């Protein structure tokens, strides 16, 4: 007896070409270009001191998704930091200038937000603590700033402060109390300027929250330290303390492991 063959429905995916890892990687590299173009446009607007051309949140999320897909194709472990995948893509596709574009993006964010006025105060407190420490090799490289020093202020404030502090001013103006009133008003103006600059820094910091989050998710510590409005010396000091803490943690784990043996 003949058995009737059942008709099997044809799989619509059977006509597709076989999967190619090489073509998938080429598509990912091509798709990264759209996000990189928006990053470069933002950097160019900041460098030209014009209104920022903000990259869309979709471009940032799309970039991170492409990096994640590339990690899956490269068979890297899930604990690998995204910045390592980015460097791997940049090594295979040097024409994208991937790492250079991200570093340029960090420089643009650093320039847009500026340095927080609190950074200078932190340097003064650090110098005071080091100068009061009894250790021999704890002498600070820079001395604390004098209240009359205004190197980080605009040229107009520095000029006014220099004129008010001139010893011959009271001879030309007259009574000494008039000079004191003028000095008090200048100090109040400088204090108000510092407050306005501090407010501007935090306002701009909130405006670039999604870009800072994107840089933090990449996992590069040097890039992360540049997004807090700190000076270059403070960033180096932060890196040095972080390295010392890493070594101490490693030593503590090594000693604990040896004690259990």
Domains in the chain: boundaries: 21-113, 117-260
Tell me, what DSSP letter sits at residue 75? Answer: T
User: CA-based Rg of the chain, rounded to a whole angstrom?
Assistant: 29
Going by pLDDT thresholds of 50, 70 and 90, the confidence category of residue 16 is low
pLDDT value of residue 138: 40
Give the contacts of 82 (CB within 8 A, at least 6 positions apart): 64, 67, 68, 71, 217, 218, 219
Distance CA 110, CA 205 (A): 10
Going by pLDDT thresholds of 50, 70 and 90, the confidence category of residue 4 is low
Question: Which stretch of DSSP H or E encloses residue 129?
Answer: helix 117-132
pLDDT value of residue 69: 83
Distance CA 39, CA 36 (A): 5
* pLDDT tens track for 88-106: 888 888 888 899 999 999 9
* pLDDT tens track for 35-48: 899 999 999 999 99
> Taking Cα atoms as reference points, which of 103, 120, 88 lies closest to residue 36?
103
Please check the confidence at residue 205 and state whether its pLDDT lies above 60. Answer: yes
Q: What is the pTM of this model?
A: 0.69
Full 3-state SS string of 27-74? HHHHHHHHHHHHHHHHHHHHHCCCCCCCCCHHHHHHHHHHHHHHHHHC
Give the contacts of 91 (CB within 8 A, at least 6 positions apart): none
What 3-state DSSP class applies to 242? helix
Distance CA 65, CA 61 (A): 6
Distance CA 242, CA 160 (A): 41
Mean pLDDT of 17-23: 65
> Taking Cα atoms as reference points, which of 220, 226, 194 lies closest to residue 108?
226
Going by pLDDT thresholds of 50, 70 and 90, the confidence category of residue 122 is low
Residue 208, both tokens: 């670039």
Distance CA 223, CA 43 (A): 16
In the chain, what's the furthest Cα-to-Cα distance?
Answer: 128
Highest mean pLDDT: which range of 41-45, 96-100, 139-143, 149-153:
41-45
pLDDT value of residue 165: 67
CB 197 within 8 A of CB 178: no
Separation of CA 124 from chain center: 23
Distance CA 159, CA 166 (A): 11
Mean pLDDT of 8-19: 58
* pLDDT tens track for 218-253: 999 889 888 888 878 888 888 888 888 888 888 888
What percent of the chain has a predicted confidence (pLDDT) above 90?
A: 22
């Amino acid at each position: 007896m003949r058995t009737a063959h059942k008709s099997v429905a044809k799989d619509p995916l059977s006509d597709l070409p076989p999967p190619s890892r090489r073509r998938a990687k080429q598509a990912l590299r091509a798709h990264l270009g759209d996000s990189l173009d928006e990053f470069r446009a933002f950097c160019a607007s900041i460098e030209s001191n014009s209104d920022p051309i903000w990259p869309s949140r979709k471009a940032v999320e799309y970039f991170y998704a492409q990096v994640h897909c590339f990690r899956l194709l490269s068979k890297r472990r899930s604990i690998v930091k995204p910045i390592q995948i980015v460097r791997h893509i940049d090594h295979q596709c040097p024409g994208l200038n991937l790492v250079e574009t991200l570093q340029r993006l960090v420089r643009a964010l650093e320039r847009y937000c500026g340095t927080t006025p609190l950074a200078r105060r932190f340097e003064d407190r650090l110098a005071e603590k080091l100068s009061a420490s009894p250790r021999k090799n704890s002498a600070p490289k820079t001395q604390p700033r004098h209240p009359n020093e205004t190197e980080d202020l605009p040229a107009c404030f520095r000029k006014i402060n220099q004129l008010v502090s001139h010893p011959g001013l009271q001879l030309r103006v007259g009574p000494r109390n008039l000079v004191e009133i003028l000095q008090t008003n200048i100090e109040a103006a400088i204090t108000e300027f510092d407050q306005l600059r501090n407010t501007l820094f935090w306002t701009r910091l909130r405006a670039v929250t999604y870009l800072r989050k994107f840089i933090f998710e990449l996992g590069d510590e040097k890039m992360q330290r540049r997004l807090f409005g700190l000076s270059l010396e403070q960033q180096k000091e932060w890196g040095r303390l972080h390295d010392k803490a890493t070594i101490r943690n490693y030593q503590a784990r090594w000693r604990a492991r040896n004690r259990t043996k």
